[in-house]
Structure 1
Amino acid sequence: MKYIFALALLAGTLGARAQGALTFERDLHDFGAVPEGTQATHAFRFTNTGNQPVVIANVQASCGCTTPDWTKTPVLPGKSGVVRAVYSSAGRPGVFSKTVTVTSNAAEPSHVLTIKGTVLTQAEQKKTLTPAEIARSPRLVVEGAPGHDFGRLESGQQLSARFVVRNAGKRPLVLGALSSACYCVGYKIPPAPIAPGQSAPVELVYAPRQLGALADVVTLQSNDVATPADAKLTLRATVVRTLAPESLVKESGTTVPFK
């Protein structure tokens, strides 16, 4: 009986030791100064120092301003993976400190990573940059009219407007988040960086939530610190309940007598 008990205890001990382990290169990343409107991204790299494969089940950010991504496939012993954290700095000037919690089947089932930094407004960025650095900044120029009139829209419709943005600066132009008081505008496709001297189309999706004549101002943020303000576009529309002919609306509302 003692021999059987010893074997069971040994098997349990070996089973407990047979487990993966996530060892991160570091648990904290300080971005330092982050220009407002950019996406601050850092990749936390790790190695499986255990003796069994590790599968990351989920990575949960402490706020909606941070978007996590991670290695989805099993990480074998001795192999490496990554947990990526992307912080959206648009409209969030000041000091930030955010966490992402990694949940896995490793020996430590929950592991917390931290990102921090200070988001600088354009005015603050200019104070920290030399005239030469400002001169080398990208320059955002909207070609053509800085707005679009959709005319009459039916409530619930979602239409897009196409603009052309040119980089008149000397470094790649990175377009950041869109901000508007209506929260009804977004990118149809996230724009790629625009090389110096090049132009690229930018398509915005407009989904107004109110009725009547609207003029929504959209701020297009970027890493351009040379100009005094971010580009502003105005989207106009007259939103009605329906675009159906009035006669058809009235007819659909009439009572049909029983025959």
Structure 2
Amino acid sequence: MKHVFFFLIALLAAVAAQAQGVLKFEQELHDFGNVPEGTMATHEFRFRNVGNQPVIIANVQASCGCTTPDWTKTPVLPGKTGIVKAVYSSAGRPGIFNKTVTVTSNAATPSTVLTIKGNVLNKDQMKATLTPAQIAQSARLTVDRTTHDFGKMEAGQSLVARFTVKNTGKQDLVLGAITSQCYCVGYKNAPAPIKPGQSAVVELVYNQRKLGAQAETVTITSNDVTGDTKLTLKAQVVQDLNAGSMVKESGASVPFK
């Protein structure tokens, strides 16, 4: 009887060991090839749970701060699919890159390493690799104006400038990083790709603490191979604004609070 008991225990343990989720990725390496500098190189690694229990991804850790991961947060049931997304910021990083993201889950194999690689080229290098026909088929960024004047603003106040960006090219326009000398300009929201012939409002947040007349040159990178876009943000920055002062936000006067 004792032998039967131990046999049943061993059998249950074996069954329990087999009752696990299993992540099967379509690929564990993605090569972007040549990437225009300034773009956000993005790839989704797709997987299926080929096991018999739900899989929960606990964390996805990138090997560097230049890569931002995202993933399916809900449990992935047996037979269902999910994604792990890796976004590589190429702004200011010319040359070859090889980065990893490590996926940790409750699957039978608790840790999986995914790899992205490519070669970041500046605009001149990128154009040199393309034929005239390919250049003609690329994305094109046009903007409704190149200057925005906030007028008088208080030091440390965050104001928003809105620019209308149109894609006059033949591929999706992907906006990349923003650079400026003051490090005081950024996107209010991450801009989505703009389809050919379509326009979108891009909001830039400006937060300047330096007093006096300011004129900040802002560079917006994109996958437009003809070059980056430069904008100028102007403001008269003062220490304090009294309650009756008016400041300009995105071309419209609003009371300061």
TM-score > 0.5 by shorter chain: yes
CA 1:234–1:49 in structure 2 vs 1: closer, same or farther (change >3 Å)?
same
> 1:60 and 1:75 mapped to 2: Cα distance?
19
- What is the one-letter code of the residue matched to 1:240? V
CA offsets, 1:131-173, max 9 Å, x none?
A: 22223333322223x2222233222210011222233434443
Q: Counterpart of 1:59?
A: 60
Q: CA RMSD in A?
A: 2.1
> 2:20 and 2:137 mapped to 1: Cα distance?
52
> 2:36 and 2:221 mapped to 1: Cα distance?
10
Q: Counterpart of 2:69?
A: 68
Q: Counterpart of 2:124?
A: 123
CA 1:111–1:215 in structure 2 vs 1: closer, same or farther (change >3 Å)?
same
Task: Using the TM superposition, give the Cα deviation of residue 197 of structure 1 relative to its aligned residue in structure 2, in angstroms.
Answer: 4.5
> 2:149 and 2:207 mapped to 1: Cα distance?
13
Q: Does 1:41 find its partner at 2:39?
A: no
CA offsets, 1:34-76, max 9 Å, x none?
A: 1122222212121222221111111111222222222222222
- What is the one-letter code of the residue matched to 1:137? S
Q: Which moved more, 1:193-202 or 1:82-91?
A: 193-202
Q: Counterpart of 1:50?
A: 51
- What is the one-letter code of the residue matched to 1:234? T
> 1:12 and 1:196 mapped to 2: Cα distance?
58
Determine helix, strand or coil for the equivalent of 2:85.
Answer: strand
CA offsets, 1:180-207, max 9 Å, x none?
A: 1222211223334344444433221111
- What is the one-letter code of the residue matched to 1:232? K
Q: Which moved more, 1:148-157 or 1:95-104?
A: 148-157
Q: Counterpart of 1:176?
A: 176
Task: Using the TM superposition, give the Cα deviation of residue 242 of structure 1 relative to its aligned residue in structure 2, in angstroms.
Answer: 1.8
Determine helix, strand or coil for the equivalent of 1:137.
Answer: coil
> 2:15 and 2:68 mapped to 1: Cα distance?
38
- What is the one-letter code of the residue matched to 1:83? V
- What is the one-letter code of the residue matched to 1:31? F
Structure 2 residue runs of 5 or longer lacking an equivalent are 244-257
Determine helix, strand or coil for the equivalent of 1:183.
Answer: coil
Structure 1 residue runs of 5 or longer lacking an equivalent are 246-259
Q: Counterpart of 2:233?
A: 235
> 1:178 and 1:69 mapped to 2: Cα distance?
22
> 1:224 and 1:171 mapped to 2: Cα distance?
9
Q: Counterpart of 2:248?
A: none
> 2:185 and 2:164 mapped to 1: Cα distance?
17
Counterparts of residues 117-196 of structure 1 (less than 5 Å) = 117-144=118-145, 146-196=146-196
> 1:115 and 1:193 mapped to 2: Cα distance?
21
TM-score, scaled to structure 2: 0.85
Identity of aligned residues (%): 67
Determine helix, strand or coil for the equivalent of 1:78.
Answer: coil
Counterparts of residues 84-99 of structure 1 (less than 5 Å) = 84-99=85-100
CA offsets, 1:8-35, max 9 Å, x none?
A: 2222222222211112122111111111
> 1:195 and 1:25 mapped to 2: Cα distance?
28
Determine helix, strand or coil for the equivalent of 2:134.
Answer: helix
TM-score, scaled to structure 1: 0.84
> 2:89 and 2:21 mapped to 1: Cα distance?
32
Determine helix, strand or coil for the equivalent of 1:113.
Answer: strand
Larger Rg: 1
Q: Counterpart of 1:257?
A: none
Q: Counterpart of 1:24?
A: 25
Moved over 6 A (4+): none
> 2:47 and 2:23 mapped to 1: Cα distance?
6
CA 1:129–1:73 in structure 2 vs 1: closer, same or farther (change >3 Å)?
same
